[in-house]
Structure 1
Amino acid sequence: MESGNRFGGLALVLSALLLAPATASAISVSLGTGNQGIDDFSYSQSDHTIMIQESWGSAETGTLAFDKLEAGENYTVYKEITNNSGSDWNLFANELLDPADGSFDAGDQAEEDFVPAGYSHSNETDGLSFAQGSGIPRTSDAFANVTADEIGTRDFLDYGDGILASGETATVQFGLRDNNAPANEPFLIAQRPNMESMAIPGPATAALFGLGLVGLAGFRRRDAA
C-alpha cells in the first residue's frame, strides 16, 4: 500500500490540529546526545499536540531531546517514521532517559551502550512518563502490540508484532508527561529499531527469584546426601 494513501487521513487530522491556535508554552525538540539512526527530523506543536517526522538512515539508536514541557501537563505525540535503513524492522523500542545528576536519580548508573554519558534510566519516582493513566492512545499502523513499563526503575514503551519495511513510513502515537519539570529536562527518548527493552525485576520478582534459588540449593543438598 502506498504511504500517501496510508497517511492521508492522519495528515488531515494533524493539519487541523496544527492550524489550531497554540495556547501552551512552546516546547523544544531536537536531535539528542547519542543519536546515530535519525538522519533528518522536523517537528511542530499546537497546544499540547506534538507532530514529529523522522527519516532514519540506519537501524542504530536514534535519540530526541525534549525540553520546556509544562509540569504535570499531558502531551500527545504523533510521529511519522520513515525507515531508510536498508533493513526491515519488526520491533521498535522507546525508553525515557533523564539527566543522571538529577535529584531523582541518585546512584542510578546506566551501563547499556545505548544510554549516552550524562543520562540515566527514568524511574517511577522522577515523575517523567509516557503519560501513564492519561488515556492517550498508544498506537501504530505498523505494529499491533505495545508493551510498557512505567512503575519500576525504567520507563519504556515498545512496539511489536508487525513490520516496518525499508523504504516505508509508519506512524506511532503516545503521550508524554513530566510532573517535575524542569528538574528532568532536557530528557531523551531513546529509540531502538529491532530491539526490545529489558525490564529490571521489581522487588517482588527479585524475591521470588531468590526463593527459587534457595529451593534449588536445598534440592541439590538433598540430592548430594
Structure 2
Amino acid sequence: MSLIARSVRNTARVASTSLRVAASGAPSRARGVTQAVTRIDSAGSPTFARRAYATASSEASTIDPTVTRAFDLLESGTRALEEGDLAAAAKLYRESVEVKETSEGWHNLGNCEYHLQNKVAAVEAWGKSIELQPSADAHTNLASAYVLDNPPKPALAIKHLTAALELTPEDPEIAFNLAAVLESTGNLDTALTLYKKAQSGGIERAAQNVRNVSAKIIGQRAKEEAAKESAQ
C-alpha cells in the first residue's frame, strides 16, 4: 500500500494551560509557550518551525510544584528536539511523564522513541498518550507503526486511522491513508469513498487512486455477475 506524507506525524505537542493548575484547582498564570513542529523534507531530514500559543491567565499565585516541574521538563524536551538532539529530548520527556503523566509528554516521547528505532517503546508511549487524551496525531502515528511493522498489522492500522478520522473528519491525509489500508485489505467500496474525500480535500494523487479503485470495483462486479450466470 502507498501511504501519503510522513510515516509518523512529528508534532511535538506542548501542554496546554490546564497543566498549570493551582493547588486550589483554579488555573494559575501561565506564560506563553512555543511548539516545535517538524516536517520531513525531500532529503528525509527533519526541519523545524516555531508556532506560538497563547495561554490563559488568572491572579492565582499557588502552583502545584509537581505539575510545574513536569511542564518545565516538557519545554526543555521540546527545545532539545528543536536542536535535533533526539536522545536528550527523549530523556527529558520521559522525566516529565515520570514526574506527572500528561498526554503531551507521552506523545512527544513516542515520537522520539520511534525515530530512535525504539518502536515498541514508541507504540507504548502513544498508547498512554491516547489513554490520557485522544488525539488524531497519536492515532495516526500508531497506525503508521502498525502498517510499517513486520509483518504489517492492517486491522490495528484501520482501527487507529478510523479513530483519527473521527477526531478530525476533515483531514484529507488521514482519509487517504485509511483508504490505502482498506484497499489493501479488499474493502474497495469504503476505500473509494475515502479516496474521493481525500481528493476533494486537496490530495491530488488521490485522483489516480479513485480511478484505479473504481476500475477494480467494476472488474470485481463483472466477475461476480459472470459467476452467477455460470451457476445458473
Q: So what's the TM-score if we normalise by structure 1?
A: 0.29
| Structure index of larger Rg | 2
Larger RCO (CA within 8 A; separation ≥ 6) = 1
